[in-house]
Structure 1
Amino acid sequence: MGSWGVGPFDEDTAADFADGLDDVALEEREPIVRGALERAVRAVGPLGYSAASEALAAAAIVVAQCPGGAPVPANYGPREPIPQLPYELRGLALVAIDRVLDPASELAEAWDETEHARRWRQGVGRLRDVLDPPVSAGQGSLFEL
């Protein structure tokens, strides 16, 4: 795993995904983000490393546009503007994050073999919490079925 930190863009595949967004026209960026999320959600069986890494990066981009979401890091995230993303990508990003966090996900497996697994899972959990905030007793979740 070529990583240098626990953030969603702190590894080779995610940084390449961000660079790819910078290389296309503005109107092509939303379909690329959506595609990464959809590939993760629709994958059959355990989520592969690259698909998980790209989905996590795409989810971080979605979260950055949510109230309470952290901005995309300028060092390895996309440097070019991302258009306002459709609201429905939030639910897709939430499901994609859950697929990334699944113990069978190759990205989760790779992180779980490191001393930084807990920090990585906490960071991904913070992204998830922006999309589906923890609720207090008596309140329902935004994405509750």
Structure 2
Amino acid sequence: MGTWDVGPFDNDTAADFSYRVDEAPEGEKAEVLRTAFRLVTEVGEEELDADLAVEAIASAALVAARCPGGEPVTAYGPKEPLGVLPEELRPAAVAALDRVLTEPSELLELWEESDGEEWKAGVLKLRGVLAGS
């Protein structure tokens, strides 16, 4: 995975994921996000794959962008409008972010090997926006 910064779309996997969101039919974009959350939370106690974690974080950023306090997704995010996103995506996003930050998580381990505090703070900020806190 090529990573150039700590933001949700600052890596190749998330940039590729944004294309998948763009390619989804208009009424199915929310399902792409929901699937990203479900794949992460269904891992259970097995090690969470870094690519799945990255896609969940990118999805969470898209949902958070529509919440009070959320930041717009720019640059490498989807170019097409997402349409209406169901409210139940917010708790699904929170659960997915919680799993990303819980060991065993390959992405968490990779960031902990470097200066991952800024990355972790960004993920926790997304979580706070989604949780309404």
Settle same-fold status: TM greater than 0.5.
yes
Quote how far apart the aligned CAs of 1:107 are. Answer: 0.8
1:71 aligns with: 72
Matching of residue 129 in structure 1 with residue 128 in structure 2: yes
Q: What SS class does the counterpart of residue 19 from structure 1 fall into?
A: helix
> What runs of 5+ residues in structure 1 fail to find an aligned partner?
135-145
In 2, the alpha carbon distance for the partners of 1:84 and 1:68 equals 18
In 2, the alpha carbon distance for the partners of 1:72 and 1:39 equals 22
Quote how far apart the aligned CAs of 1:94 are. Answer: 0.2
TM-score (norm 2): 0.93
Q: What SS class does the counterpart of residue 22 from structure 1 fall into?
A: helix
Highest Rg: 1 or 2?
1
Quote how far apart the aligned CAs of 1:24 are. Answer: 2.4
8 Å Cα contact 2:24-2:32 kept in structure 1:
no
Per-residue CA deviations over 1:22-77 (Å, capped at 9, x if unaligned) read 1222112111111001111111312111111111111111111111111112x111
> What runs of 5+ residues in structure 2 fail to find an aligned partner?
none
Q: What SS class does the counterpart of residue 13 from structure 2 fall into?
A: helix
- If each structure's helix is expressed as a fraction of its own residues, which one has the higher value? 2
Quote how far apart the aligned CAs of 1:103 are. Answer: 3.4
Matching of residue 89 in structure 1 with residue 123 in structure 2: no
In 2, the alpha carbon distance for the partners of 1:72 and 1:29 equals 15
Greater relative contact order, per chain length (Cα 8 Å cut-off, separation 6+): 2
Equivalences for 1:41-56 in 2 at 5 Å?
41-44=41-44, 45-56=46-57
Quote how far apart the aligned CAs of 1:102 are. Answer: 1.4
Q: What SS class does the counterpart of residue 79 from structure 1 fall into?
A: coil
Matching of residue 120 in structure 1 with residue 127 in structure 2: no
In 1, the alpha carbon distance for the partners of 2:117 and 2:98 equals 16
Percent identical among aligned pairs is 47
Quote how far apart the aligned CAs of 1:133 are. Answer: 4.1
8 Å Cα contact 2:41-2:99 kept in structure 1:
yes
Backbone CA RMSD of aligned residues:
1.2
In 2, the alpha carbon distance for the partners of 1:80 and 1:112 equals 34
What amino acid is the match of 1:108?
L
In 1, the alpha carbon distance for the partners of 2:112 and 2:66 equals 29
